């Protein structure tokens, strides 16, 4: 089958379209014919080699973390799915590779596709949806009446996070450009800050939660907008010691991670707020809960551009440009 693979790590390296072996279907796997996939900054960072210490993929490997498609085979222990089911998923780490024609995914990581979404729309959801769910519901336990600051509101994570936070009853502040202000307001943002002309740290204070997705400078400023007892959850780093323990990192890697996050953890302690790093995990059960919200109309996908499969490198470059409003999707079939 055809797949776009990373042959060598590096920022200047293009993905190569290659013939690769058919997926091996394990006992608890669902084999999916891929109709659509989506591009995430995580794909770019993996190709660049930024996560080699925690996700040491051996080249060549296929990129891609989102899939929507049709079940064309199941392992003997699979009970929830059958051939012909329309599904979507975020494959588990070390089993990624949705920039391809087919993929085998663990049954526990798959969910039935929302009935009211196309394959293209469904492919835009899994990684960002699960990231936001695990940040705001699982870790922050965001409640009605609380205040949350979501950075980069017009991006893939931001457009989903604003909608979920509003559904949970929170007051939402976000940053975006003036040109995207109307979009984030439509999604439910209450406070919209033009990052080009305003400093969010001057306007925001007393927040319960920050969903951090930007750089270290923004992180330091964001910790200051929290009230005592508030928490910042970072999806862009630095990784923290708890994450190192969770992935059973080698001792040397643990020390590196501890050193990289030392400044953020020290500042958080001084301000009496929480800091933690989140690297989302695949979860079919959480996707089912997200499906319910999508089918009820509480959350809708935001898709910026759709690229054909052969233009996968163009799709990746567009995401890296930072201009995307919502998600960028690749139509495979």
Q: What is the pLDDT of residue 97?
A: 98
- pLDDT tens, residue by residue, 291-318: 999 999 999 999 999 999 999 999 999 9
- Taking residue 145's Cβ as centre, other Cβ atoms within 10 Å add up to 10
Closest CA to 152 of 235, 227, 93: 235
Q: Which three-class secondary structure state does DSSP give residue 16?
A: strand
- Taking residue 5's Cβ as centre, other Cβ atoms within 10 Å add up to 19
Q: What is the pLDDT of residue 179?
A: 96
Closest CA to 147 of 129, 174, 128, 186: 174
Q: What is the pLDDT of residue 2?
A: 98
Mean pLDDT by runs of 10 across the 333 residues of the chain is 97 96 98 98 95 91 98 98 98 97 98 98 98 98 98 98 98 97 98 97 98 97 98 96 93 94 98 97 98 98 98 97 95 97
Structure token pair of residue 248:
């059973």
pTM of the model: 0.97
Structure token pair of residue 30:
């669902």
Tally of CA atoms within 13 A in the half-sphere of 314 that contains its CB = 9
DSSP string, 279-297: -----HHHHHHHHHHHHHT
Q: What is the pLDDT of residue 185?
A: 98
Structure token pair of residue 130:
């699960």
State how beta strands 86-89 and 67-74 pair.
Answer: antiparallel
Q: b/e string for 175-191 if b means 16 or more Cβ within 10 A?
A: bbeeebbebbbebbbbb
- Nearest 5°: the CA angle 118, 121, 123 is 105
Q: What is the pLDDT of residue 223?
A: 98
Q: What is the pLDDT of residue 66?
A: 98
Q: What is the pLDDT of residue 53?
A: 83
Q: What is the pLDDT of residue 54?
A: 85
Q: Which three-class secondary structure state does DSSP give residue 131?
A: helix
- pLDDT tens, residue by residue, 239-276: 999 999 999 999 999 999 999 999 999 999 999 999 99
Q: What is the pLDDT of residue 272?
A: 98
């Amino acid at each position: 089958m055809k797949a776009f693979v990373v042959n060598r790590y590096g920022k200047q390296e293009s993905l190569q379209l290659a013939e690769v072996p058919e997926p091996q279907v394990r006992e608890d796997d669902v084999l999916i014919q891929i109709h659509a996939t989506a591009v995430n900054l995580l794909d770019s960072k993996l190709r660049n080699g930024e996560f080699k210490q925690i996700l040491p993929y051996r080249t060549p490997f296929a990129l891609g973390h989102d899939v929507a498609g049709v079940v064309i085979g199941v392992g003997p222990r699979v009970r929830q799915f059958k051939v012909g089911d329309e599904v979507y998923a975020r494959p588990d780490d070390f089993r990624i590779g949705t920039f391809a024609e087919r993929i085998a995914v663990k049954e526990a990581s798959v969910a039935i596709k929302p009935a009211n979404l196309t394959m293209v729309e469904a492919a835009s959801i899994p990684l960002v949806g699960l990231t936001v769910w695990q940040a705001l519901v699982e870790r922050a336990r965001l409640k009605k009446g609380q205040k949350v600051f979501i950075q980069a509101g017009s991006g893939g994570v931001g457009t989903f996070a604003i909608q979920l936070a509003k559904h949970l009853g929170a007051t939402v502040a976000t940053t975006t450009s003036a040109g995207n202000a109307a979009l984030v307001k439509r999604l439910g943002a209450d406070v919209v800050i033009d990052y080009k002309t305003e400093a969010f740290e001057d306007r925001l204070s007393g927040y319960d939660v920050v969903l951090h997705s930007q750089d270290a400078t923004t992180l330091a400023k964001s910790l200051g907008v929290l009230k005592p007892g508030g928490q910042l959850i970072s999806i862009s780093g630095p990784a923290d010691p708890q994450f190192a323990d969770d992935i059973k990192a080698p001792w040397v890697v643990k020390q590196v991670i501890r050193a990289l996050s030392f400044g953020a953890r020290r500042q958080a302690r001084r301000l009496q707020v929480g800091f933690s790093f989140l690297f989302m995990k695949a979860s079919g059960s959480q996707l089912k809960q997200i499906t319910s919200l999508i089918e009820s109309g509480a959350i809708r996908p935001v898709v910026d551009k759709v690229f054909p499969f052969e233009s996968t490198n163009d799709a990746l470059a567009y995401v890296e440009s930072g201009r995307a409003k919502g998600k960028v999707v690749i139509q495979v079939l």
